[in-house]
Amino acid sequence: MTRRPRLALLALGVAAAALARPLAVRRAAVAAVPEGMRSPACWLPLSFTPLAVRVIRALPQPPTAVRDGVTVRTRTVSAGTGRDPVPVHVYEPAGRTRPSGAVVWTHGGGYVIGDPVGYHDICSRLADELGVLVVSVDYRLAPEHPFPAGLEDAYTALLWLHASAAELGVDPDAVAVAGDSAGGGLAAALAQVAHDRGEAPVCFQALVYPMLDDRTVLRQDHAGRGALVWTPASNRFGWTSYLGTPPSPEHAPEYAAPARRADLAGLPPAWIGVGDLDLFFEEDVDYAERLEAAGVPCELVVVPGMYHGADRFRDDEPRIVAFTGSMVDALGRGLRRRTAPAGA
């Protein structure tokens, strides 16, 4: 055999070994997921990059189903002089008793992708089952619009909901915030901003595997978490896009990374849910424990074997059904505490 064929065979062997190792790692990661929770997404080597984000945004976002009996309207909310208005989707259940509670929902997507139409299902479910108005915010995305753009859009929607409470038939003392992943991070930050500014009270926060702490990017050891769907590489891209600079140990702008807040006292009661295979597991558990330590009631739900975003892929799996149901029930209790008559 001549030198060139030998080199070609050697190159093929090296390439095969390089491909085999990631496949073996992914196979091991998928094996840790209960069979009923697995989805084709588990096998995809997902990694968010500028090109991937452009491709995803260019594709039409398929809307999820709206619950029967729930009407969805799109409105634009004025953000003040010199600022673009903020689009919102408003979900109204048939026969809603006025005034009712309300929920401001912020969608996930790592701060770089996502669209409210992909959350018609959960937003209309909240409206239907809780008998409330739901406002889903179409906030600006990074990297084109880094922090604080998305948060200020969410806060604009919250202010509008309070200012329009009489027109919308909403009890301003029964307004909650909720969201998943990056949207969960925005909801947590929104609760902090609302508390500090004192203009638009928030009575409860429901945080679904929230993206809370940019310092997770700086950790080298993730204890095997983050192998599926949302990876450490994607997390680095998402946070760098949102902050406008790579995360640093010393500092992040106030409210950008809610987990960096030192004093959590006085924040609204919370529900936090996460899977134990999720990259955000440690930061979410830590935030829940710190809320409790600060005197803030917080229900923490951890699902063994659940990876990031599993509820968007396998919403029929019994453990995931229970997970989402727990969040819905917690929101209902949080809103009812504010609307129940004295002595109830």
User: Which residues in the chain belong to E strands, given as ranges?
Assistant: 70-77, 86-93, 100-106, 133-137, 170-180, 204-208, 270-275, 298-303
**Phi and psi angles of residue 123, each rounded to the nearest 5 degrees, phi first:** -70, -40
At 97 the pLDDT is: 96
Q: How far apart are CA 208 and CA 328, in angstroms?
A: 11
User: Where does residue 150 fall: left (phi above 0), alpha (psi -120 to 50 degrees), or beta otherwise?
Assistant: alpha
**Phi and psi angles of residue 311, each rounded to the nearest 5 degrees, phi first:** -70, -20
CA pseudo-torsion sign 83, 103, 74, 309: positive
At 199 the pLDDT is: 97
- Look up residue 210 and give its two tokens: 């929230």
Q: pLDDT tens digits for 55-112?
A: 999 998 899 999 999 999 999 999 888 889 999 999 999 999 999 999 999 999 999 9
**Is residue 201 within 8 Å of 173, Cβ to Cβ?**
yes
Give Cα separations from 172 to 87, 219, 267, 336, 339 (angstroms). Answer: 21, 41, 17, 13, 10
* Banded model confidence at residue 129, pLDDT cuts 50, 70, 90: very high
Kindly give the pairing relationship between strand 100-106 and strand 133-137: parallel
| Residue 285, number of CB atoms within 10 A of its CB | 15
**Residue 119: which of 94, 98, 97, 91 has the closest Cα?**
91
Active-site pick, 128, 180, 278, 284? 278
Give Cα separations from 118 to 86, 123, 287, 312 (angstroms). Answer: 18, 10, 27, 10
**Is residue 124 within 8 Å of 96, Cβ to Cβ?**
no
CA pseudo-torsion sign 283, 208, 270, 319: negative
At 81 the pLDDT is: 81
At 338 the pLDDT is: 61
Q: Decide if 181 is catalytic.
A: yes
At 82 the pLDDT is: 83
Q: pLDDT tens digits for 153-178?
A: 999 999 999 999 999 999 999 999 99
**Is residue 202 within 8 Å of 191, Cβ to Cβ?**
yes
**Residue 266: which of 287, 300, 295, 298 has the closest Cα?**
295
H-run or E-run covering 145: none
Whether the predicted pLDDT of 341 surpasses 50:
no
Q: Decide if 308 is catalytic.
A: yes
Residue with tokens 């006085």: 266
Length of the chain: 344
Averaged pLDDT, 177-182: 98
Which amino acid type is present at position 35?
E
Q: How far apart are CA 307 and CA 245, in angstroms?
A: 27
User: What is the domain class of 45-339 according to CATH?
Assistant: alpha beta
* Banded model confidence at residue 45, pLDDT cuts 50, 70, 90: confident
Active-site pick, 181, 241, 284, 311? 181
**Is residue 79 within 8 Å of 86, Cβ to Cβ?**
yes
Q: pLDDT tens digits for 258-293?
A: 999 999 999 999 999 999 999 999 999 999 999 999
Q: pLDDT tens digits for 287-334?
A: 999 999 999 999 999 999 999 999 999 999 999 999 999 999 999 999
Averaged pLDDT, 244-263: 96
**Phi and psi angles of residue 321, each rounded to the nearest 5 degrees, phi first:** -60, -45
- Look up residue 70 and give its two tokens: 């729930």
Active-site pick, 162, 234, 308, 311? 308
- pTM value is 0.91
CA pseudo-torsion sign 141, 288, 202, 319: positive
Q: Decide if 276 is catalytic.
A: no
Half-sphere exposure of 258 (CA within 13 A, CB side): 30
Q: How far apart are CA 278 and CA 222, in angstroms?
A: 10
